[in-house]
C-alpha cells in the first residue's frame, strides 16, 4: 500500500503536533461555550479521535455521513446525507471536524443545513485545506495544513474506500486512478 504514495505531506509526528495545537486553541476559544463536535464520516475518524482528546472541555460528539465523490477523484458537487446526526443542534455551538476542504461544496451545504436547524454557531476544524480546488468562497476557522491541488490519501482520506488506514497523509500515485 505504501508503494502507491509518491510524496508524504504530513507525517504521524506532524499530525500529532497539529491535533495538539488546534486542540489547545479550540479549548481556549470555546471555554465558556457549549460545544458539539460534528464529524463528517468516514474521513474524519482518525482526526476526530486525536483532536477531541486534545480539547480539554466537556463536549458532545456526533457524526453524520454525506457523500459527494462516488468513487472518483473529483467532487461531484451533489451532496447527499447518507446518515444523519443522532442529536439536535438547536442552540448549540457546532464545530464540524473534517479531513479536508476542497471545493467547499460539502462544508457550505452542511453549514447551511445546521444553521437552518437552529445551531447557534457553525465553524469548521479541518486537518487539510486545498484552497486551489474551491468552487465556493470559504475560509475554515481552524486549518491544520494548507496543501497544493493534489489528490491525497491516508489518515482517514480514501481513494475508492482504500488507504484510510495509512498513518500519514500522502499524494497518491496517479497511476492508481489513471487507467
52 contacts ligand IMP (rule: CB under 6 A): no
**Which of these is catalytic: 34, 78, 99, 102?**
102
Binding string, residues 99-138; x marks residues near ligand IMP by CB under 6 A = xxxxxxxxx----------------------x--------
Peptide bond into 42 cis (omega under 30): yes
Residue 61's Cβ-count burial label (10 Å; 0-12, 13-18, 19+) is: middle
**Could you tell me how many residues make up the chain?**
179
51 contacts ligand IMP (rule: CB under 6 A): no
Instruction: Assess whether 102 carries a catalytic annotation.
Output: yes
- To ligand IMP, the closest distance from the beta carbon of 107 in angstroms equals 6
- Nearer Cβ to ligand IMP (4/27): 4
Residue with cell 476544524: 125
Q: Residues 7, 170: contact at Cβ < 8 Å?
A: yes
C-alpha cell, 115 = 444553521
Provide the binding-site residues for ligand IMP, judged by CB under 6 A: 40, 43, 68-69, 75, 98-107, 130, 151-153, 157
Amino acid at each position: 500500500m505504501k508503494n502507491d504514495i509518491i510524496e508524504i505531506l504530513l507525517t504521524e509526528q506532524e499530525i500529532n503536533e497539529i491535533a495538539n495545537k488546534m486542540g489547545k486553541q479550540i479549548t481556549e476559544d470555546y471555554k465558556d461555550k457549549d460545544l458539539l463536535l460534528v464529524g463528517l464520516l468516514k474521513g474524519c475518524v482518525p482526526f476526530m479521535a486525536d483532536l477531541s482528546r486534545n480539547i480539554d472541555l466537556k463536549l458532545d460528539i456526533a457524526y453524520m455521513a454525506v457523500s459527494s465523490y462516488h468513487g472518483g477523484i473529483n467532487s461531484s458537487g451533489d451532496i447527499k446525507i447518507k446518515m444523519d446526526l443522532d442529536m439536535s443542534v438547536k442552540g448549540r455551538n457546532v464545530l464540524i471536524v473534517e479531513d479536508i476542504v476542497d471545493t467547499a461544496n460539502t462544508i457550505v451545504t452542511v453549514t447551511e443545513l445546521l444553521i437552518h436547524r437552529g445551531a447557534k454557531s457553525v465553524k469548521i476544524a479541518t486537518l487539510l485545506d486545498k484552497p486551489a480546488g474551491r468552487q465556493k468562497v470559504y475560509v475554515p476557522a481552524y486549518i491544520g495544513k494548507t496543501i497544493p491541488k493534489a489528490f491525497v490519501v491516508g489518515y482517514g482520506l480514501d481513494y475508492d474506500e482504500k488507504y484510510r488506514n495509512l498513518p500519514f497523509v500522502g499524494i497518491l500515485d496517479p497511476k492508481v486512478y489513471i487507467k
